[in-house]
Structure formats: structure tokens, C-alpha cells
Amino acid sequence: MANHVASKGIFVNLWAREEEVVQIINSKHENTTFLAGIPLSEKIVATASVAEAVSEAELLFLIIPTPFIAKWLEENQTMLPWQVPLVCFSKGIEQQSLRTPYEILVDELPGKYHAKLAVVSGPSFAKEIGVGLPTSVTCAAQDIEVAKQIQLALATRNFRVYTASDVIGAELCGALKNVLAIACGASDGFGFGANARAALITRGLAEMTRLVVKKGGKASTITGLAGVGDLVLTCSSSLSRNYSVGQAMAMAARSQPQQKSKEDSSNNFNRDLAVAEGVKTSLAVHLLAERLGVEMPICESVYEVIHKGIDIKTALRKLQDRPLRAEHDEYQGTWVWSAL
């Protein structure tokens, strides 16, 4: 994202926690650790100092893993300017509190920051943005004028930005798609075919809709870039870490005996792949759905496989054995999908 903004002729201060990353970006104009092979603009200057990074900033981007946002804000909040938009690109749900990134920002930042908060979500692999391939995303903010300001700052011919006001929906979609991508990767890993993947994506949208609406978001958000757009991308590409995790789990299960202990099951796939957001988010989604009384069988199956040691093929087959029912329910005048 820094490279994209710099491509518009804008100078970018980039904060990085790792000193070696700072040095490489400034000396070689490449992030060999996290985005190898993508040349970075000379308008990007990296620093390990938050104070230097935010100095004289006209727009702040927060791209920190969700589990660390609250702690980072606690340590750095006093250095953040409050008169400029703060745009969160993070995805997920905090396990302890079940808060989305936006909710963390609202809780942890003083009220003077709240009017300028926004989130960006949608189908956007970092590597493709980095090389300037066509991409479209949604910027959601409570104040639509803030969303429009960010839209103008980010938009180019190859990077379209649409505005929205449903922050809740955009964030939940961004978290749930990672869990559903694990299920799709597992299905493909077992060779269940394109029909099965299409069904998981479609019924996954049903689960998204139920949770978003229950938490106060809009069902219409599911049909947009943050919903179906990001879900289709994440559930069908090997560039997705979450899809790759599911695929690796299925391939490991196919090569080993069916009977496995919980400990064995949790260690069957490459530990490097376990950094995928959907692994931790599956537990948070399970807890949130349980709290809100929302039925989410696909997400629940992913949770059971990862956190309870249920055999992955058994979990996928269990979804197929659920009672038959109508596809749609009518909810407050809006058609939404019934439980799978």
C-alpha cells in the first residue's frame, strides 16, 4: 500500500518494527522480508521510530496484526495526530475481547480521534497492488466525508476505491473470509471439485450475512467488494495464506492414517502456514457466533478441526449430512440465507 501511495508522487514515511527491514528498504528499496521481488519507490522512507513516521502526516495507515493493535496503541497513542484520517487495513477479531480492529480503535483512542477513523477492505493481494495490477476496494467510515477524502487520496486508474458507511459489515467480512478460505482450501486439497468450492463460498456468504446483520451491519455489504469480492478471491487462490493452510491440512490428512489424536491433528500442517489470520480468527468467530446465537456451520467446522482436533474430512462430510431446508429466510424485509 505504501508503494501504491508513493506511485502518486506522495512521500511516504513507513514505520517498521524490525530494524533490519528498515535498513533494507532504505538501502535497496525492497522489502525482502515481507514483499520480496517488488521494487519500492524512492519516495518511501522507512523508520523504526513511530514519532518520525507520523510527523507532519496528512493521512495515517494502520496495518498491524489485529492481536497487537491494542498494545501498539497503548504504547504509541500520544504520538498520533488526531486531526487527520486514520485508516485501518487490519483484518480479524481480537480473541480476548471479540472486538474488530475498528472497535479496538474506538475503545483505545480518545474521543477526539473517532470522527476520522475509517477501514479499507476488499479483494486486494499485496503483491498485485505492489506491481500496479487493477484492484478495487471499499473504504468504510461512519462519516462518509472522511471516506470520500480517503477515496480521493488512494484512487488511481488501476486502484478504484468505493465509499461506504457500514464499518461493521466491512470488518466482519474481512475477518470471516479468512476462515472460509481455510474450508475451501481443504475441500480443494481433498479434490472435492469446483462444485464443492462454489457451494462453500455461497453458503459462506450466508454465514457472513447472518453474523453481519446480527451485529448491526448491512446485508447489502455482503454483495460488495468487502463481502463476495474478497471472499471469492481468498477462497480460490494459492496467493491466499488461508486457502493454502486448508489445502495443506487436507493434503496432510490424505497422506496419514485417518485416526489421529488432537495433538497430532494440530501439528499435521506446516507451522509456517499457521500464521494465516483465519487460524486464530476461527476461534474468535466461534465465540462471537456463540455469544450472538448465530448458526455458522462452515466456520464452526473450521474451528473444530483446528482447535478441537476433529478429523478434517469428517468435518467436511458432516456439512453435507446436515438436514435439508429452504435456501433463503426473510429477515426484516431483506432476504438472507438460511442455515446450511
State pLDDT tens for residues 240-266.
Answer: 999 999 999 999 988 875 444 444 444
Architecture of 2-167 per CATH?
A: 3-Layer(aba) Sandwich (3.40)
- The response to whether 91 counts as a known ligand-binding position is yes
For 12-35, what is each residue's pLDDT tens digit?
A: 999 999 999 999 999 999 998 888
Per-residue model confidence (pLDDT) at position 273: 47
pLDDT at 339 over 80: no
pLDDT classification of 333: cutoffs 50, 70, 90: very low
- The response to whether 242 counts as a known ligand-binding position is yes
Residue 177 annotated to the active site: yes
For 95-146, what is each residue's pLDDT tens digit?
A: 999 999 999 999 999 999 999 999 999 999 999 998 899 999 999 999 999 9
Q: Where do the domains of the chain lie?
A: 2-167, 178-337
Per-residue model confidence (pLDDT) at position 337: 53
3-state secondary structure of 322: coil
* pTM: predicted TM-score of the whole model, two decimal places: 0.90
For 180-206, what is each residue's pLDDT tens digit?
A: 999 999 999 999 999 999 999 999 999
CB 64 within 8 A of CB 90: yes
The residue-averaged pLDDT of 207-233 equals 97
DSSP 114: G
Q: What does the alpha-carbon distance between residue 287 and residue 194 come to, in Å, rounded to a whole number?
A: 30
Q: What does the alpha-carbon distance between residue 120 and residue 138 come to, in Å, rounded to a whole number?
A: 6
pLDDT at 179 over 50: yes
Q: Write the class of the CATH domain 178-337.
A: mainly alpha
- Separation in Å, CA 55 to CA 5, 84, 215: 17, 12, 36
Q: Which of 28, 71, 127, 177 is catalytic?
A: 177
Per CATH, 2-167 and 178-337 having the same topology is answered no
Q: What does the alpha-carbon distance between residue 194 and residue 199 come to, in Å, rounded to a whole number?
A: 9
Per-residue model confidence (pLDDT) at position 266: 46
Q: What does the alpha-carbon distance between residue 320 and residue 306 come to, in Å, rounded to a whole number?
A: 19
CB pairs under 8 A, 24+ apart, for 157-161? 158/132, 158/133, 158/134, 159/4, 159/129, 159/134, 159/135, 160/134, 160/135, 160/136, 161/120, 161/136, 161/137
3-state secondary structure of 287: helix
Per-residue model confidence (pLDDT) at position 332: 47
